[in-house]
Every structure is written in structure tokens, then in C-alpha cells.
Amino acid sequence: MKESWRWYGPFDKISLSEVSQTGASGIVTALHEVPYGEIWSRDTIAGRKAEIKSAGFDWVVVESLPIHERIKRNDGKLSQLFANYRQSMANLAAEGIHAICYNFMPLLDWTRTDLAAPVERGGSCLRFSAPKMAALELYVIGRDQARADYPQEVIAEAEKWFQTSSDDDRAELMHSVMAGLPGAYERYDADGLKAALKLYEGIDRTALRSHLQRFLEEVVPAAEELGMRFCVHPDDPPRDILGLPRIVSDADDIAWLLNAVDSPANGLTLCAGSLGANPKNDVPSIARRFADKIHFAHLRNVRKDADGSFEEAAHLTGDTDMVELVSVLLQEEKRRRDAGVEPWEIPFRPDHGHDLLDDASRNTHPGYPLIGRLRGLAELRGVIAGLSRSGISTV
């Protein structure tokens, strides 16, 4: 498995020289400065690739080539947006970059209510509190329909939190949820969020699936011609949020997506944390079922609560059996290598991580500290080495 590291380019507080000391050999990044819907020029791609190469890395996965919100809503004439997307793909392929991780989550890439929840023995983690999210939906933005989306006991806890919270608490909650907005860096207040949500009125699960299928039909044939691997990232969290449908949350969703456009280019980013936040998901089993379609892996772990809350756990101590999951991925690598499949190696990155030691002082992107991810990478490296040496991974 190819050890990789997510890097936010010029926006990252962690330098490539620091990343080099982690031992990772691959970089996962994007042109975050390019507005959604515009073409990634070949010159700009080449410049970023040269910067990565000069630091001793390969640019192994694009995460992500963003999908414009109008495509997700199927809003208006989209031919130019699709054409721009395909041209960006062609420019990436021309520079030798052939893997694209993407998601189809409406409006928010990921959602957390706490960016620095305390963890045992020090440090902090990202957390999703179901009561606090219900409080934001019901009492901060006034989405009364949310009462049907949460159990009564969660709504009771939400009301209790709201009644005892200060203005600063509510502002911090909004800030945490807004941290999941993708690359545009615009953040909404309560009124702005309500206006953004209004654009999705009438778009249910069935409609969003049809919009995703249209997107795949527009880009997967081009990916085949270019020799590219498209790998969808599951929903985070794997449940409807703010009344927005989520359609890549479990094994059935993944099967539907992969069958919607049946192609070797239409694949999966196996995100252990996103899938692991759904109590019904057995992540190693999902990996085993779709192993031949896994083009990229995010390895992280979560610890779930009975009320639907969850938080980032250390990589080896959450609810997912990470050793079993890594074993599945190593077995798939062996199958590909033995069958002469290229590329046979699965790039992975230690996803998220606790803020440890002086991580908090760096003010990095939430979930992407230096030391916390280095700990995760070291733990995963040990698991991979142990399985590989023992031969367990090839049983």
C-alpha cells in the first residue's frame, strides 16, 4: 500500500518538508484556489506537480476535482460545466495524474459540531453530536421539519443544550458546521444557510441519485478514454443532514452507484471513518465486497454513541477492526499483482487525526494536524508491516 498524505497546497500550514519527515511518499491534493466549475489548466497542474516532485513526492490522487453545486441540483444548462470538468480531467491525465477522488454530498463536504472535543489523556478530536446538530437545525436556523429526523430523546437533549447555551456557544456551533463547506471558503450565518438550503428544496433521494447518474454518464466515458480512475467518497456523516439527502452511505448505495455506470473507471474511495459512522455498516465486509473497485483508501476510525453521535477515535481503537480492514486491502493488492493488474498498489492516507502536543497551535485545517496524523500513519504502517511479514494478509 502506498503511504500518502493530504496536503492543501498554498493554504496548508504544514510544509512539504515537514510532510517528508513522516515517511509518506505520495501526496493527495487539489488546486483548491481554482473556483468551482472553472478549468484546471495544464500549466497550473504542471506547476503544482513540479512543486510536489521537487520535494520528493508523487502526486498520487486528486482530492478532489470538485463538482459544482449546480450539477448536484441539476440546475439549468450544464453542458459547459461538464465540458470544463472533462477538460480538467484531460489536463490532469496529460500530466500523468490518473486518480480522482470526488463526492456528491449536497452543500457540505462533511459535518461536525465540535472541532476540538477533548479526548482521554489529552488532545482533541472532531466530534458530531446529534443533539447539538438537532439544536442547530431546530432552534438556530428554524428548520422545524428536523423533528422528524431525530429521536425524541435527542430532540429533548437539543432543547436542553439550546436553553443553556450562550450566544458564543451557538456561534461556535455554526462555525464548526460551516467548516465542512467545500473549497469556496465562504461561510454562512443562519440566514445565509437557510437561503443555501432553499436551493435544494424538492430534491429528494431519488432526484439526487438521478443527478449523480447524469454526472457519471457525462464523465466516466472520458475517464475510460484517459485511463483515469474515478473513486467516490462516501457521505460524512452517512445520514441526511439539514434535510439534504445523502446517497452514498452504505453497501446498497455503493452497489447502486457502481452499477449506474458499469465501468472499471467508476470506483470507490474506501473511507473507513465515513462508512464506520453508520451503525449498520461492517466496513471490512464492505471493503471485501467491493475490493476490485477500491482505487483509494482513507484509513481512520470512529467511536459511535447510541444516540447517533460519534467522534474520531485513534486509528486502531475505534469501532472498526482496522487490522481486518487492512488485511482485506492487502489481499486485494496481492490479487491485482498476481493478475498483472496495473496499478496494483492502493494509495492510502491516514485520514483525520487527534490534535496532539503542539498541533493546536498550528491552526491547520480541522482534522488535519501534523502530529495526530503522523501517529495514525505510524500505527497503520506497523499493521501493514506485521500482516505482510506474517503472511496473514495473503490467506
Same domain for 291 and 252?
yes
- What was the pLDDT predicted at 79? 98
Residue of 351, 354, 355, 359 marked active site: 351
- What was the pLDDT predicted at 339? 97
Same domain for 135 and 222?
no
Quick one: what percent of the chain has pLDDT higher than 70? 98
Host domain of residue 293? 2-108+202-394
Same domain for 181 and 215?
no
Same domain for 154 and 223?
no
Residue of 233, 295, 315, 354 marked active site: 233
Same domain for 209 and 338?
yes
Active site residue 139: no
If you average pLDDT over every residue of the chain, what do you get? 95
**What confidence tens digit (pLDDT) does each residue in 101-122 have?**
999 999 988 999 999 999 999 9
Same domain for 129 and 192?
yes
Same domain for 12 and 154?
no
Same domain for 373 and 276?
yes
Cell of 40: 484546471
Which residue in 286, 208, 293 sits closest to 259, CA to CA?
A: 293
pLDDT for residue 394 is more than 60: no
Active site residue 233: yes
Active site residue 352: yes
Same domain for 158 and 221?
no
Last residue of a domain, one of 163, 198, 233: 198
Last residue of a domain, one of 198, 233, 266: 198
266 and 220 Cβ atoms separated by less than 8 Å = yes
Give mean pLDDT, residues 379-387. Answer: 97
Same domain for 133 and 274?
no
pLDDT for residue 393 is more than 70: no
Residue of 98, 295, 352, 354 marked active site: 352
Residue of 271, 315, 355, 359 marked active site: 271
Last residue of a domain, one of 198, 225, 257: 198
Residue of 68, 98, 295, 298 marked active site: 298
Q: What's the pLDDT band for 181 if we cut at 50, 70, 90?
A: confident
**What confidence tens digit (pLDDT) does each residue in 274-296 have?**
999 999 999 999 999 999 999 99
Q: What's the pLDDT band for 395 if we cut at 50, 70, 90?
A: very low
Q: How many domains does the chain have?
A: 2
Active site residue 271: yes
Same domain for 165 and 233?
no
Active site residue 298: yes
330 and 1 Cβ atoms separated by less than 8 Å = yes
55 and 26 Cβ atoms separated by less than 8 Å = no
Return d(Cα 341, Cα 334) in angstroms, integer.
Answer: 10
Return d(Cα 83, Cα 368) in angstroms, integer.
Answer: 32
Same domain for 123 and 192?
yes
Burial 296-308 (b: 16+ CB within 10 A, else e): bbbbbbbbbeeeb
Which domain CATH number covers 363? 3.20.20.150
pLDDT for residue 33 is more than 70: yes
